[in-house]
Chain A
Amino acid sequence: MDTDVVIKVRGLRTQFGTQVIHDNLDLDIRRGQVVGVVGGSGTGKSVLLRTILGLNRPREGDIEVLGEDARQALDTVQRRTGVLFQNGALFSSLTVAENIQVPMREHLDLSRSLMDELAALKIGMVGLPPDAGPKFPSELSGGMRKRAGLARALSLDPEILFLDEPTAGLDPIGAAAFDNLIAELQKGLGLTVFMVTHDLDSLSAICDSIAVLVDKRVRLGTMAEHMQDAHPWIQSYFHGPRARAALDNRL
């Protein structure tokens, strides 16, 4: 029994008009894994993430998240997963603390003071300064907005965390700090992380498994396994100068 498979995709086909994005795509992600999803532009990395979250309807195929059919038990899936969208997607009319409390208000019945405490806790966990709580998203820098988005994603202590390009638009130091943060939270909270990224540094630093989207399918493996792959795109991706630099840094 593969009870610890938290995301299971079978025979997925997504299509926009006549354009097929994924065809007969299978994917298994186990509990506690940090999976980085890479692929060329237009190969449907974000589409895959959105499809698993139930934001896109697949043409064919089954998706199970935490053992439930993602399309039928959308509530459960939403309750037990957290998502960080590319630009944070914070609600602009609410303060950071209120943003973090939105999922709590929606799914739970907590007292005002407890919600404030928990929001402050999450703000501390993602490394934001204490005075960030009453600020509005427009008053935050890009990096802080991502941290605030992460705090909101963690608000209900999800089992799976979905990240869409978490380090895009951050400077290398900020990106490394964000990687560390995710790795630390992942260890502390025992999260499963599904991360769409292009950042080779994050891939080598925190992902224990990499899903490469090529030929409308996914190839899952470790960095070392992908290095051996003969597929031309994977070859040029993992053997390009940038990949080498990222790997050298690690060694």
Chain B
Amino acid sequence: MDQEPEWIESVGTDGRPVLSAKGSWTIDAVSVLDSRIKATHLNGTKQAELDLSGITRLDTAGAWLLYRTRRDFADDGIDARLAGLDPHYAPLLDLVEQADKAHPEIERERPGVLVEFVSRVGKSVCEAAEEGLNLLNFLGLTIITMLRVIVRPRRMRIVSLVNQIEQTGLNAMGIVGLLLFLIGVVLAFQSAEQLRKFAAEIFTADGLAILVLREIGVLIAAILIAGRSGSAFTAEIGMMKVNEEVDALRTTGVDPIEVLVLPRINALLLTLPLLTFFANVAALTGGTIMAVATLDVTYTQFVRQLADAMTLKNFIVGMVKAPVFAFLIGLVGCYEGLQVGGSAESIGRLTTKSVVESIVLVIIADATFSIVFAYLGI
């Protein structure tokens, strides 16, 4: 039904070049026409004619090519006259011309690869620094609000605190218990394999107890909670931010930090130590079962060895970290939630960011603890 688009060069009666456009000049054809037009060079002439009488169909893409051809000729000092265009299509050509006049230049300036790399690195460093500063700011705000609430305990939001404890603590017990049990199994098995070579299998118990109590129990529990509750904090608060609920709270005179952030952080401060204790029990149970099943030691022997290694010091070294990790996770989760702005798109991005950031901070804090304890000789 559509006629083949054509672009024909010829010479008119008065010696001027005539360029005839024929057929259907629509977006389906512009690819071919574009290369044909680009191959057209008019040399040594000041005048030309664009004969459009053969055009049967025209759309904006086709009109753009006609317009651009004429414009490019004009840039080369060639005056190209349009002739024979169906008056029906005149408004279309006007529209295209207006649109182009509004955009004098199509800017396509791309910086070099190296410049782009350096600027990207610089940008992300600046962003990270700013993020750190903002987080510090938020930490201050949270602590001040916390102190205010401690002075006037009636402002404590007990209902939402209990609700958060249920969600972040009670509901997390299954997954924390299962994972730590399995990690205990793996730890016992791996260390037993190594120690067997020295006929020191019984020290599997010492390794297990020290590793679990001091590091693994609290670290894995914190990472799980960061993934599970930290992300939930960001998503929940972020959703409220998108719905303007946070602004609604502010306008009614309610401090969002007090009702949204504090109950969440406080809940984590309470539940993460408890979960850590639970995690320790689960890991040690898993390790014991594995050791007794694979090693030539009796249950009583192993447990006695384990009990000797489970000193109060080791236990406390692990437990001390729990509230610090909890605070970091809660802080980052709530902070990123409040960073959500405008559209729902940012919720997903910030939730990911919140999880990554809180896990990074937890591990940095853990390393710091190790260094400090090493200095103190604990």
Contact = CB atoms under 8 A, between A and B. Distances in A.
Given A114-B34, A156-B27, A188 B103 contact: no
A131 B64 CA distance: 20
B64 A157 contact: no
A121 interface: yes
Given A117-B68, A130-B102, A187-B91, A157 B31 contact: no
Interface string A118-129: 101111110100
Contacts of B68: 117
A142 to B, nearest CB: 10
Contacts of A121: 60, 64, 96, 99-100
Interface stretch (A17-25, A44-52, A103-111, A172-180): A103-111
A157 B27 contact: yes
B98 interface: yes
A124 B100 contact: yes
A149 to B, nearest CB: 14
Contacts of B30: 110, 114, 118
Interface string B89-105: 00110111011101111
Contacts of A184: 95
Chain A binding surface SS class: helix
Contacts of B95: 125, 184-185, 188-189
A72 interface: no
B26 interface: yes
A97 B301 CA distance: 72
Interface in B1-35: 26-28, 30-31, 34-35
A242 B259 CA distance: 43
| Interface residue range, chain A | 20 to 34
B107 interface: yes
A3 interface: no
Contacts of A114: 30-31, 34
Contacts of B100: 121, 124
A178 B99 CA distance: 16
A12 interface: no
B108 interface: yes
| Interface residue range, chain B | 20 to 34
B108 A124 contact: no
A92 B345 contact: yes
A163 interface: no
A154 interface: yes
B102 A108 contact: no
Contact of B26 (A104, A127, A157): A157
A129 to B, nearest CB: 8
Interface string A137-159: 01000000000000000101100
B343 interface: yes
A164 to B, nearest CB: 18
Given A108-B27, A114-B30, A124 B92 contact: no
A114 B65 CA distance: 9
A188 B59 CA distance: 10
Contacts of B96: 121, 125
Given A124-B103, A138-B342, A111 B60 contact: no
Interface of B: 26-28, 30-31, 34-35, 59-61, 64, 68, 91-92, 94-96, 98-100, 102-108, 342-343, 345-346
